[in-house]
A and B are shown apart, each in its own frame.
Chain A
């Protein structure tokens, strides 16, 4: 037990089932009498549907039914809701066009669902789907973020002139303009933050089931937040009351944001199961994932930094156009606003910041949160701009950061973009990273690379993120249409073991281990006696799920709060049995002890007494030991850190090799260092993937997705990346939650892109290349080198 508590690298209890092939992912589930759905999707990015003929498909072998929008409309099925209302300049509400479950007359992106075919087998459904005849009238197309608002661009939604969803701003424009007017240096940068595909290795899947005897619907789905799906689908789409709707998210093979949202297929299988009287299963293949999973990033940005003569930052100005895709995905509007502009202070004491964001509709797959979600975009532009400022002013890249960091002594620190940082030692993290990388020795390493004919570059990136989402009242005032607390129920069983029900959901993060460590330590019971349950709305009180690195900070805090209630009740029980006053009982190491004596009861004995209350204060206290707590965070948490990357570039081929990568991260208190390190590694490779290889590309003229498979969309592979040197700094824990934890899931992705690209630019600058956009593929680098030479 001494090896199972907080701070120990406990081996994961999830691993046995995953290593032996005995996990249960959604597609592993088969329900009795199950039939299969195939979704007919638009092959066109923008078209009018003139006619849908399903007759041949309906006659095909094994087909039970073919449904289109008309069938949904006849049953009063609603559209997919958006969970966040952003108000633009002058408090103007965003344009929120309808997002039908099946297209109603117009398709707006490749993959837009048009019909659903249900058949006895998966291949019969796919065969019959080929027979659905749809007469499309092609419409003009816009896929480019930068071109969406041009007057001649085709309009996607009648209520969205210039394809504008909102035109939003944050910060003090007048103060920024004044600072630029008196600046000694002005540094400007135009950037593209490339569109990405989340690509969790498990494709999405869903099974709908209807129990005629009880009138209950069940949905099994690959979701990061089953309660949110139950709420959105039940209340807005299918009008099923929550007590008649159960949503189960079993083992889920990665999410990275893409499995947060309420998708059409979930509503379709749930609805269709009742229509055909059989459980209905749908499993995406990878091609379908590329055109139906919400995608990430896709910003075009102009930004500028004003500095005084000593390199102190005076003001930051940012103008961004953010692509929403064809419709608003569940949380899309919040990503390039409240999770982006609010992070533009970074680690710096920049006194004035102004950010304008235009969100636009285009004929592309909807965009929503992808690992980091807004924060990688903010970090990327800021750190590219800081590195450029260092080059332009001649101040060393580390020194210019040192001069501008918010000192630890200034905490809590109110930024000019709404957030109040509670803790962090930014200087210490950077100094440590510089030491680990041997910053002073870089010149020698560069010379060594040059001797081998290679260009070496070094890049720094510092980041801060707002995690632990979120204080519900703050989120509500910013347009969130839900609360963002978390729930935990600690249920002691009579013989002393415990089941913990958490509203968070794990899809790779190892909560079953981390949370069990926490409960074992706090209650002083063996970790083997603790079971963590999650993912089933029939079992778990209403929780908000897992995203935004919130699980330990919000979900873990809810567990601590429930534990506190257990201990408080346990003290009353122990005081009665031990015949002392409650105030004389101390709880420590799993024992309720009479202070100053050796009289004590174990946690297990107290639990037993609660369920077999023969000697028990029945007049004052209910039997049982089962407590539920909801925790609403007081503030965001602010994980932060410093990443340093060194690259070598091959001048002949343009290939970029990452020679070294160091990450020093402040996640507050660390519960399981092995799991935390794994989260950092995975995050780093997603950030490096964006910087070097990944790019989701639509053809401008045809609107076709050019990167619709793993043959065209490059995923980072084991031989593309090195082993990383990572460390955590636990010296500045979160000040406002009971564990001092900050969250670690997204940090790697947030900091890595800028570190890599700064290193690439540093390498290329030696031969006259000054700027390059992500991804720095061999082709892009080679082209930049060519252009610089001529």
Chain B
């Protein structure tokens, strides 16, 4: 009855192989099959952005994809952003220093979205940051801490490069 397929995927540098139902959402695959529960599901209709992951380095809404679509792909989730178990990525550190999170539920999607954005636009204006995260809903922060964190992270990431 069930339509099953094999999926092999690399997540945060680790390889996984699973046999899954073809209708399984990528978000449910990541959370419940791979047990990487840092990726959150906020709406399951692609609007809130909480489930955003990096697929081959580009953002994707994992609730709008099926697990079978990522066979052979490279994925980064929130668990794979920090350089080590004890250190934070400069963007994560900027979130902590600028109070860019409260309940933490939207945070994984905000981080993945901003990692891609800051690669594409390393020196953004406040308005550009606001537009960049306008597809990610946060109900706690009023966005100001997140915007400040992104601008701060841009400086930290550029730090070495700028005179």
Contact = CB atoms under 8 A, between A and B. Distances in A.
Contacts of A12: 96, 99
Contacts of A674: 99
B78 interface: yes
Interface residues of B, number: 60
14 contacts: A11-B97, A19-B78, A19-B107, A20-B82, A24-B37, A201-B139, A254-B139, A286-B48, A678-B140, A717-B134, A718-B130, A718-B146, A723-B126, A723-B147
A779 to B, nearest CB: 20
B142 A11 contact: no
Interface of B: 1, 21, 23, 28, 31-32, 36-45, 47-48, 50, 77-79, 81-82, 88, 92, 95-97, 99, 101-108, 111, 126-127, 129-131, 133-148
The secondary structure that dominates the B interface is: loop
A709 B47 contact: yes
Contacts of A685: 142-143
B140 A682 contact: yes
B62 to A, nearest CB: 13
Contact of B142 (A17, A122, A287, A748): A748
B76 to A, nearest CB: 11
B142 A682 contact: yes
Given A14-B104, A682-B139, A720-B134, 6 more contacts: A203-B41, A252-B103, A286-B43, A717-B143, A718-B147, A719-B127
B44 A285 contact: yes
Interface of A: 11-12, 14-25, 27-28, 30, 61, 122-123, 199-203, 251-254, 256, 285-287, 507-510, 674-675, 677-678, 680-686, 709-711, 715, 717-721, 723-724, 748
B48 A202 contact: no
A17 B86 CA distance: 11
Contacts of B48: 201, 286, 710, 715
Contact of B105 (A17, A202, A681): A202
A19 B138 CA distance: 15
A137 B134 CA distance: 44
Query: B106, B136, B138, B145 — which one has the most chain A CB atoms within 10 A of its CB?
Result: B138
Contacts of B36: 21
Given A11-B96, A719-B130, A18 B42 contact: no
Nearest to A710: B47
B137 A61 contact: no
A200 B144 contact: no
Q: Which of A18, A25, A123, A674 has the most CB of B within 10 A?
A: A18
Which residue, of B81, B101, B135, has the highest number of chain A Cβ atoms within 10 A? B101
A202 B143 contact: no
Contact of B78 (A21, A25, A251, A286): A21
B145 to A, nearest CB: 6
Nearest to A677: B99
Contact of A715 (B45, B77, B133, B137): B137
B37 A19 contact: no
A678 B42 contact: no
A199 B82 CA distance: 29
Contact of A202 (B31, B40, B129): B40
B158 to A, nearest CB: 21
Contacts of A25: 37, 40, 105
